């Protein structure tokens, strides 16, 4: 392990920051105290601080030397709607809200890196520290991009990181191309003809549609996708009917689709629409389909992936950085930044044994032993990407 000494020296301070943030979680677009905490720290470090981007987002600007080059490092601020059951002494003081995805750790590591980069001044150019709101569900990263993040703060590339309890502490993993999936939702409303359950011949039973449609949806991945393409179609809600002896007029099916590639996403959407129309017409009913693309897939660009891998290897050693992990179909709001800008998203291992609790669980807590690793990764990445003249000559 090759931790940045100034980050190591900051470790206990970083723990305190992290525990403070953990005890005061705020959810999507309401992260005002968290944003104020971040803005205050950055201001004290002498950074130029911009607030209010995507409501509660913060961008800190650190310039040094004569270099024209610039990169962005991104962390997320928000918590989840979960009642905490971790039992830690700094447990959430906000009922029903919890830092169950470790964004308290992400924010802390980026603040630590800002402090150390401001102190070391061993780079040339500009580092933008991007603290985005509403990573969970609400697309705060998308809103930041729409509000001109990359126009106001021109940078050549943007980098993101997520703690990963299912990989070992002291490791990193990332890959060129898709690392996380696209997240779409669908809703199918079928309208038949309601009536007495004892006289189905005078009705058009939408339950029949639901039964056939759920089966038919499962043929898309099995029969329409190329075997090497990944996709998931899950029906997660069926709503219909109120009592024993009435055939309802309408049934609603809802669910989610996960994919890595746009072509597969297009194919699945079109098959859902085709199947809904076909099954409805078979049973002489009408179905409407609402299909919404929530988050695109998180796709890393080649050169920036190599830069991220190099920085991670400098910190944890060559053998500890995986460069072809199996991608996950969970989704990540950072995808919107990667659609607008070259960059790379990495998983930082935080697991310690089989029993490590995963993110989004009420018993989860960010692993403090990873703070110095993630902080060192950010500092190393920035210094490698924006080398000062002295570093360039030495290197
Ligand atoms: Zn999450
Ligand atoms: Zn997260």
For residue 269, give every residue at least 6 positions away whose Cβ sits within 8 Å of its Cβ, in sequence order, or none.
184, 186, 257, 291
Ligand sitting nearest the alpha carbon of 360:
1
Distance (Å) from CA 17 to ligand 1 centroid? 20
The stretch 48-59 carries a mean pLDDT of 98
Could you give the C-alpha distances from 133 to 27, 86, 89, 362, in angstroms and in order?
8, 24, 26, 21
Could you give the C-alpha distances from 241 to 118, 176, 205, 234, in angstroms and in order?
62, 48, 11, 21
The stretch 36-40 carries a mean pLDDT of 98
pTM surpassing 0.85? Answer: yes
Distance (Å) from CA 133 to ligand 1 centroid? 12
CB hemisphere CA count around 44 (13 angstroms): 10
In this predicted structure, what is the pLDDT of residue 349?
Answer: 98
Distance (Å) from CA 127 to ligand 2 centroid? 23
Distance (Å) from CA 251 to ligand 2 centroid? 34
Instruction: Report the alpha-carbon distance of residue 159 to residue 156 in Å, rounded.
Output: 10
Distance (Å) from CA 359 to ligand 1 centroid? 7
pLDDT band at 67 (very low <50, low <70, confident <90, very high): confident
Distance (Å) from CA 101 to ligand 2 centroid? 4
Query: Looking at beta carbons, which pairs linking 243-248 to residues 24 or more positions away fall under 8 Å?
Result: 244/197, 245/196, 245/197, 245/198, 246/194, 246/195, 246/196, 246/197, 247/192, 247/194, 247/195, 247/196, 247/197, 247/200, 247/203, 247/205, 247/206, 247/207, 248/192, 248/194, 248/206, 248/207
Instruction: Report the alpha-carbon distance of residue 107 to residue 135 in Å, rounded.
Output: 12
The stretch 73-86 carries a mean pLDDT of 97
Using DSSP bridges, classify how beta strands 250-259 and 231-240 pair: parallel, antiparallel or unpaired. antiparallel
Distance (Å) from CA 136 to ligand 2 centroid? 7
Instruction: Report the alpha-carbon distance of residue 305 to residue 285 in Å, rounded.
Output: 50
pLDDT band at 390 (very low <50, low <70, confident <90, very high): confident
Separation of CA 96 from chain center: 21
Distance (Å) from CA 236 to ligand 2 centroid? 22
In this predicted structure, what is the pLDDT of residue 178?
Answer: 96
Instruction: Report the alpha-carbon distance of residue 47 to residue 33 in Å, rounded.
Output: 19
User: Taking a C-beta distance cutoff of 8 angstroms, is the pair 324, 175 a contact?
Assistant: yes
Is it the case that residue 394 has pLDDT exceeding 70?
no
pLDDT band at 24 (very low <50, low <70, confident <90, very high): very high
Give me the percent of the chain exceeding a pLDDT of 90.
97
Sheet holding 157-168, edge to edge: 48-53, 57-64, 125-132, 70-76, 157-168, 343-351, 172-173, 321-322
The stretch 81-103 carries a mean pLDDT of 97
Pick the more confident residue, 388 or 2: 2
Is it the case that residue 115 has pLDDT exceeding 60?
yes
Is it the case that residue 202 has pLDDT exceeding 90?
yes
Token pair of 338 as six digits: 């990667």
The stretch 271-297 carries a mean pLDDT of 97
pLDDT tens digits, residue range 298-338? 999 999 999 999 999 999 999 999 999 999 999 999 999 99
Instruction: Report the alpha-carbon distance of residue 248 to residue 232 in Å, rounded.
Output: 29
Distance (Å) from CA 333 to ligand 2 centroid? 9
pLDDT tens digits, residue range 350-387? 999 999 999 999 999 999 999 999 999 999 999 999 99
The stretch 55-83 carries a mean pLDDT of 96
Ligand sitting nearest the alpha carbon of 164:
2
Mean of per-residue pLDDT scores for the chain: 97
In this predicted structure, what is the pLDDT of residue 111?
Answer: 98
In this predicted structure, what is the pLDDT of residue 168?
Answer: 98
The stretch 123-130 carries a mean pLDDT of 97
User: Taking a C-beta distance cutoff of 8 angstroms, is the pair 121, 50 a contact?
Assistant: no
Is it the case that residue 287 has pLDDT exceeding 60?
yes
Ligand sitting nearest the alpha carbon of 74:
2
Distance (Å) from CA 333 to ligand 1 centroid? 10
In this predicted structure, what is the pLDDT of residue 66?
Answer: 84
Name the DSSP class of 326: P
pLDDT band at 113 (very low <50, low <70, confident <90, very high): very high
The stretch 49-66 carries a mean pLDDT of 96
């Amino acid at each position: 392990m090759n931790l940045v000494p100034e980050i190591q020296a900051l470790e206990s301070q970083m723990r305190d920051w992290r525990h403070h943030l953990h005890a005061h979680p705020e959810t999507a677009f309401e992260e005002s105290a968290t944003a104020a905490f971040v803005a205050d720290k950055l201001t004290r470090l002498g950074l130029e601080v911009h607030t209010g981007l995507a409501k509660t987002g913060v961008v800190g600007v650190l310039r040094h030397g004569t270099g024209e080059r610039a990169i962005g490092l991104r962390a997320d601020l928000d918590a989840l709607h979960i009642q905490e059951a971790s039992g830690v002494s700094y447990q959430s003081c906000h009922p029903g809200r919890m830092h169950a995805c470790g964004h308290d750790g992400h924010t802390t590591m980026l603040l630590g890196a800002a402090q150390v980069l401001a102190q070391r001044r061993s780079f040339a150019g500009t580092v933008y520290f991007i603290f985005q709101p509403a990573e969970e569900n609400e697309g705060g990263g998308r809103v930041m991009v729409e509000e001109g993040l990359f126009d106001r703060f021109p940078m050549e590339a943007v980098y993101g990181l997520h703690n990963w309890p299912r990989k070992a502490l002291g490791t990193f993993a990332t890959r060129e191309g898709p690392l996380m999936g696209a997240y779409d939702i669908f809703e199918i409303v079928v309208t038949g003809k309601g009536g007495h359950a004892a006289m189905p011949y005078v009705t058009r039973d939408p339950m029949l549609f639901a039964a056939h449609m759920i089966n038919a949806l499962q043929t898309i991945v099995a029969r329409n996708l190329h075997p090497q393409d990944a996709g998931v179609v899950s029906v997660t809600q069926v709503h219909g009917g109120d009592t024993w002896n009435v055939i309802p007029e309408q049934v609603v099916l809802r669910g989610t689709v996960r994919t890595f590639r746009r072509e597969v996403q297009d194919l699945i959407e079109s098959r859902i629409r085709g199947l809904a129309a076909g099954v409805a017409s078979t049973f002489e009913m009408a179905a409407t389909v609402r299909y919404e693309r929530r988050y695109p897939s998180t796709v890393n660009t080649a050169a920036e992936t190599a830069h991220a891998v190099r920085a991670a290897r400098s910190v944890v050693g060559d053998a500890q950085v995986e460069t072809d992990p199996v991608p996950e179909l969970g989704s990540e709001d950072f995808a919107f930044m990667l659609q607008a800008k070259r960059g790379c998203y990495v998983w930082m291992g935080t697991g310690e044994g089989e029993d490590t609790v995963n993110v989004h669980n009420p018993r989860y807590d960010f692993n403090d032993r990873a703070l110095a690793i993630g902080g060192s990764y950010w500092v190393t990445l920035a210094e490698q990407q924006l080398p000062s003249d002295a570093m360039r000559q030495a290197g």
